[in-house]
Structure 1
């Protein structure tokens, strides 16, 4: 049984750090305590050279149902002058930590991913979904707009029109449709979601992780830059990577017709 006293579980194996949202009785909805734990864990993972890939998942039958409404209602009823300060204090930094992580981040999406929970999945680099997974952006049904970066990430995954449809109509997107739209990388049986994501992360953890980090940086920059800005970012990245041990190892292995061994340096 999950340790529900610990809102976030952390496991290290094969160079992969798995972060599990651990409030299954509440569909892993996001309390301040959980958000703070997740942000701290992502920050730690980014700085730890022993962590070469990250998996984000949820305990129980859901990935993450988004904001914990009990905490939100309590803030509204207490006449909190800034009931949405959690967006700036927690949600935005978490999304920056996911997209800016200098190593691959894979979402293992099990069951419902809604609101900020879905947004966290969009901010990951790859998404493995279970067959029962559904993505839901229901902000409009409670008179709110998108947050946690979804207005930026979702259109880049599935296009402006589809993203607008999801946002305005609050239509859940099942796993098979999510795959056809390009929202997820792979759909697998529910029981295999975490193991599949871990295997993919472990494969990448054995790869040229510094290079992966620069690929992330280039795509993140290119998504909002003009051509010259994108070219400059690419050039700076290649200059750095050209001097790495991993690049030299890859070239030597190619010449010697053997499999390269990458160290992430």
Structure 2
């Protein structure tokens, strides 16, 4: 992959989701490329790393384009549909997704960060819904993901009042899964992605599938799926290697 915004290195797919700049807006062509890549053969990808093209993660859509549109309803609807293909690809992929949330994650940038499996930020990280500020309602699944992360009552408050949630509070509420010093956000996220890429990919895929499906099942319905999944993992090459390594008291070599 030659595009500087989408690079595969040592099993980690690096994705700069916003245009270069201090607080860039979403980079539409990159989002489409990410969605297409994740919908194809991902056997060479062990982790996805999302980061901004500048100092901030992403400040959402290009508001200036909304203002100049002759038919804003059509434009924004089309952009949301395209954005949602990207979001669904992130959620549906078997590959773990890590977000390095530096600076601002606002609007669609916040929606994107909340869709990741591991969300790394610092005290200087800022989440803001931003949609009410321009008279819009959320897209990118924010009104679905935020209440599941922080609770319905808090989500109502944050979304309706367009509250800025700073890094430490975001971590306490579960919007960030890891809180590190601001200057270590990207390096920590990269280290997590590299470790995931070197890990048992079949196990990661199974874990993600179980987590996705658990929301629509009772415990009684979910337990057989867990039993089938762990049995399949036990028979896999990585499962056999993991058990051997444990018994031989050495680090496993997966893949």
Normalised by the size of structure 1, how large is the TM-score? 0.86
Q: Which residue of 2 aligns with 1:3?
A: none
Q: How many residues align?
A: 252
Q: Deviations over 1:37-95 (max 9, x none)?
A: 223224315623221011100022211101111222233xx135623323553121111
CA distance in 1, matches of 2:147, 2:88: 17
Q: Deviations over 1:147-180 (max 9, x none)?
A: 1111221122111111111101111000011111
Contact 2:38 2:89 in 1 (8 A): no
Cα separation, partners in 2 of 1:22 and 1:153, compared to 1, 3 Å? closer
CA distance in 2, matches of 1:148, 1:221: 20
Secondary structure of 1:135's aligned partner:
strand
The alpha carbon displacement at 1:187 in A equals 2.1
Cα separation, partners in 2 of 1:224 and 1:68, compared to 1, 3 Å? farther
Contact 2:214 2:222 in 1 (8 A): yes
The alpha carbon displacement at 1:22 in A equals 4.5
Contact 2:21 2:55 in 1 (8 A): no
Contact 1:21 1:58 in 2 (8 A): yes
Of 47, 61, 66, 2:60 maps to 66
Matching of residue 174 in structure 1 with residue 170 in structure 2 = no
Of 11, 15, 21, 1:19 maps to 15
The alpha carbon displacement at 1:246 in A equals 0.5
> Which deviates further from its counterpart, 161-170 or 81-90?
81-90
Q: Which residue of 2 aligns with 1:215?
A: 207
CA distance in 2, matches of 1:213, 1:87: 29
CA distance in 1, matches of 2:149, 2:206: 20
Normalised by the size of structure 2, how large is the TM-score? 0.90
Matching of residue 149 in structure 1 with residue 147 in structure 2 = no
Secondary structure of 1:106's aligned partner:
strand
Cα separation, partners in 2 of 1:84 and 1:59, compared to 1, 3 Å? closer
CA distance in 2, matches of 1:72, 1:235: 50
Structure 2 unaligned regions, length at least 5: none
The alpha carbon displacement at 1:259 in A equals 1.6
Of 125, 134, 137, 2:129 maps to 137
CA distance in 2, matches of 1:166, 1:190: 23
CA distance in 2, matches of 1:81, 1:103: 34
Cα separation, partners in 2 of 1:205 and 1:226, compared to 1, 3 Å? same
The residue correspondences of 1:163-242 to structure 2 (distance < 5 A) are 163-242=155-234
Contact 1:253 1:259 in 2 (8 A): yes
Secondary structure of 2:190's aligned partner:
helix
CA distance in 2, matches of 1:79, 1:45: 31
CA RMSD of aligned residues (A): 2.1
Contact 1:36 1:90 in 2 (8 A): no
Cα separation, partners in 2 of 1:26 and 1:189, compared to 1, 3 Å? closer
Secondary structure of 2:75's aligned partner:
coil
